[in-house]
């Protein structure tokens, strides 16, 4: 069941989902403590990529990306891309261990609440979601707030800027290792949000999912795409680059 959800509101938590392994919390538990709110530095970077980076989006086109029906059909204008209702998009090239930089902005005009407000997501290997959400003064379940490893780990703090402002993610990702059907080592995820460490070398419990207990029961290939989520909200991205490790 969903908690605290009058008919016209998005749920801010669940009390009927499986427990997250090794924790006292259910997936998307509405009673899990919220990350402390802090104020990050005011500026966003939009720095030049380092010389060995693969530029995935420089503001001009989506040639490095593919979408549901072939071409990535998100809108590109004014140096950014914006979600349309064309489905998720993902990189044509696949990656394993990497450093990923991107910048995003939730709509300046606030619509919806909880998970229905400025929701998108950055999926490493198409499987591990770092939540993108307008988490500024927006109550929702802790493992679904901005920069959560979705359904697993809330961020260490909530470092959100206001809706409409550009925000940065710097993600350091080590892919999981499988030997046949068996997990040898999990994915490790570090995230810096607006210059603040919010995920510190967290061992992912498996691919992320909605209302699902995570597990590595199904091995996946050693590389996968970077995927950006169409969750129906008009989130923007710019300055996306990656370094393979
Ligand atoms: Mg999302």
Give, for 89, the enclosing helix (H) or strand (E): strand 89-91
Mean pLDDT calculated for residue range 95-105? 98
Distance 133 CA to ligand 1 centre (A): 7
The pTM score is: 0.93
Contact 81, 104 (CB under 8 A): no
Query: Which residues fall inside 5 Å of ion ligand 1, going by CB?
Result: 119, 121, 229
Are 195 and 41 contacting, i.e. CB atoms less than 8 angstroms apart?
Answer: yes
Inform me whether the pLDDT recorded for 194 exceeds 70: yes
Helices (H), 24-172: none
Interval between CA 53 and ligand 1 midpoint (Å): 26
For residue 186, the tally of other CB atoms under 10 A from its CB is 17
Compute the distance between CA of residue 240 and CA of residue 155 in angstroms, rounded to an integer.
Answer: 21
Q: What is the structure's pLDDT at 1?
A: 65
pLDDT digits (tens, 9 = 90+) for 28-48: 999 999 999 999 887 766 778
């Amino acid at each position: 069941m969903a908690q605290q959800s009058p008919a016209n509101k998005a749920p801010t938590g669940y009390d009927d989902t499986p427990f997250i392994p090794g924790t006292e919390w259910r997936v998307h538990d509405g009673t899990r403590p919220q990350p402390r709110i802090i104020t990050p530095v005011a500026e966003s970077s939009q720095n030049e990529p380092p010389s060995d980076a693969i530029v995935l989006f420089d503001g001009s086109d989506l040639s490095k990306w593919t979408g549901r029906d072939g071409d990535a059909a998100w809108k590109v204008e004014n140096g950014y891309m914006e979600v349309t209702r064309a489905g998720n998009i993902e990189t044509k090239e696949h990656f394993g261990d990497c450093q990923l930089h991107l910048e995003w902005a939730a709509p300046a005009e606030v619509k919806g609440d909880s998970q229905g407000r400025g929701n998108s997501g950055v999926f490493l290997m198409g499987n591990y979601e770092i939540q993108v959400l307008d988490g500024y003064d927006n109550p929702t379940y802790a493992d679904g707030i901005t920069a959560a490893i979705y359904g697993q780990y809330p961020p260490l703090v909530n470092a959100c800027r206001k809706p409409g402002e550009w925000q940065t993610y710097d993600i350091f990702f080590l892919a999981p290792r499988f030997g046949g059907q068996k997990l040898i080592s999990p994915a490790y995820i570090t995230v810096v949000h607006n210059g603040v460490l919010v995920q510190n070398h967290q061992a992912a419990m498996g691919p992320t999912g909605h209302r699902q207990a995570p597990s590595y029961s199904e091995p996946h290939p050693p590389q996968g795409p970077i995927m950006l989520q169409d969750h129906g909200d008009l989130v923007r991205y710019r300055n996306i680059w990656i370094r393979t490790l």
